[in-house]
Amino acid sequence: MSQKSRLQNPFINRIYFHRLGPLCIVLFLLSPLAARAKLYYVSNLGDDSGNGLSPETAWKSLDRVNAGPFEPNDVIRFHRGDAWRGQLIPFGGNAAAHVTYGAYGAGQKPLLLGSISANKPQDWQQDQDNLWSTASVFPADIGNIIFNGGESVGIKKWTQNDLTQPGDYWYDPECRRVKLYCSKNPELSYTSIELALNRHIIPVSGKSYIIFEDLALRYGAAHGIGSSNTHHTMIRRCDLSYIGGGHQFTTEAGHPVRFGNAIEFWSNAHDHLVEQCRIWEIYDAALTNQNNAPNVKQYNIAYRQNLIWNCEYSFEYWNRPENSLTYNILFEHNTCVNAGHGWGHHQRPDPSGRHLCFYSSPAVAHDINLRNNIFFQALGNAFYAPDWPADSINKLNMDHNCWYQPAGTMILLKSQSFAMNEFASYQAALKKEPHSIAKDPLFMDITRQDFHLNRQSPCIDAAANTGQKTDLEGTAIPQGAAADIGAYETPQILP
């Protein structure tokens, strides 16, 4: 993104220069809008008959929260350590102020579950040897079954005859029940069973000026946050995991297609910020903005300081047709690890595993910026854009990234491909990324998902200055001579 473009857009200015001075804060607090703002509380120990305006009179259910109504500048806070099942249907704000959904109290982030629990003996009934059906019917396809908190997942099949191994399951759309292959009542085989429903955990279509912060979204079979024709949304410090796998449609040839992204901006989308989120085990993309309609604009979208691992794609982008437009897209200071290692990879008809997945995108595009990111190991390609012509690739602003993929084709473009040991040839051929490196970033302990950098990492002091003041965890930037590549800044060694 050019400095000129950044300074001309108020929302992007807030993204980059979000710290207000004391005078600004005082003036805001004294404004009539701030005076009208209300704080609402939601707790598992609450009561929907209360007014929700204090922890002592907190509401209890998502149904009560979804009923609102809320005004711009209102804040809805969910109690940390508590959990809710169902969809959160948000209210939007306006140009004067957002509506905020966040957290209060101590402990783990409030958990929004897009699943139904099936942990009790009465939840299952035996049809025949090794075949069990749910006692309940479901309003939507079950796109995933998560056993024992993620120790394993179900293997989705498309007919009952395909159920031949433990964990195989089929959602019967006629009777709307799940059928599962298991030698005994499933509740005796697993300590927890979560049936992920094919609907977005937070659907945001047509609503704008919303903030989601400090929430955890888990076990949904569509999108975690599904957004269409929206603008001015902030998603920060949220966790999203085990998302996707629902049945989207069946092709004319009879092939079922599954889907599900953690955060998606679809169709017209602008002035969005996703920062300091942790995203893992996603069927499709962790982050994406995409479109398939004419005369659509996607612009001023920033993804920064996010930690992404075990997703099929870390960042997916495309926009069609030619008369649509994309500009001012920022993907920076993200740590992306093990693309294609997620739960859904071996179930996909099209397994790929890509960090940057850029499908055919004939829409006019400019100021797409990818910098200061770590792209570590992909089962397919770290950078995939085989349908992009050379002049489109040249318009991508890329630099100060760390690439690591010691086997296979790391970068696959229209008529060129490069392995990791050919990274210098890629830099020379495309005249791109002069300050990027192709080296092991040296995480602290990848087996424990500790993606901090160790003291010998080549990513330390190797990032471009983008004006960021703190990292994913609030550590000040820079700690050394310059910022570090990725989502984490490594503290200086004490003398």
Residue 59: DSSP 8-state: B
Q: Give the pLDDT confidence score for residue 476 in this predicted structure.
A: 96
The ranges assigned to domains in the chain are 3-30+199-438, 117-195
For the stretch 433-486, pLDDT in tens is 999 999 999 999 999 999 999 999 999 999 999 999 999 999 999 999 999 999
Q: Give the pLDDT confidence score for residue 29 in this predicted structure.
A: 39
Mean of the per-residue pLDDT values for the chain?
Answer: 93
Q: Is the pLDDT of residue 22 over 90?
A: no
Q: Give the pLDDT confidence score for residue 7 in this predicted structure.
A: 32
Q: 437 is written with which tokens? A: 């490196």
For the stretch 242-257, pLDDT in tens is 999 999 999 999 999 9
Distance from the first to the final alpha carbon of the chain: 39
H/E element, 486: none
Q: How far apart are CA 60 and CA 64, in angstroms?
A: 7
Q: Give the pLDDT confidence score for residue 12 in this predicted structure.
A: 45
Q: Give the pLDDT confidence score for residue 26 in this predicted structure.
A: 37
Q: Where are the beta strands (DSSP E) in 182-332?
A: 193-197, 202-203, 210-213, 216-220, 225-236, 239-243, 246-250, 256-259, 263-275, 278-292, 297-304, 307-320, 325-332
Bond into 256 cis (ω within 30): no
Q: Give the pLDDT confidence score for residue 6 in this predicted structure.
A: 39
Per DSSP, the three-state class of 330 is strand
Q: Is the pLDDT of residue 31 over 50?
A: no
Q: Give the pLDDT confidence score for residue 493 in this predicted structure.
A: 65
Q: Give the pLDDT confidence score for residue 36 in this predicted structure.
A: 74
Distances (CA, A) of 108 to 41, 100, 104, 486: 16, 19, 10, 24
For the stretch 373-408, pLDDT in tens is 999 999 999 999 999 998 899 889 999 999 999 999
Task: Identify which of 377, 429, 369 has the alpha carbon closest to the alpha carbon of residue 402.
Answer: 377
Q: How far apart are CA 477 and CA 462, in angstroms?
A: 12
Q: 108 is written with which tokens? A: 């783990």
Q: Which residue has the tokens 């569509």?
A: 222
The b/e string for 234-271 (b: 16+ C-beta within 10 A; e otherwise) is: bbbbbbbbbbbbbbbeeeeeeeeebbbbbbbbbbbbbb
For the stretch 174-233, pLDDT in tens is 999 999 999 999 999 999 999 999 999 999 999 999 999 999 999 999 999 999 999 999
Q: Give the pLDDT confidence score for residue 19 in this predicted structure.
A: 33
Which residues lie closer than 8 Å to 443 by C-beta, 6 or more apart?
Answer: 337, 376, 450, 451, 452, 453, 454, 457
Q: Give the pLDDT confidence score for residue 25 in this predicted structure.
A: 35
- The model carries a pTM of 0.93
Q: Is the pLDDT of residue 340 over 70?
A: yes
The strand pairing partners of 398, in sequence order, are 370
Q: Give the pLDDT confidence score for residue 34 in this predicted structure.
A: 52
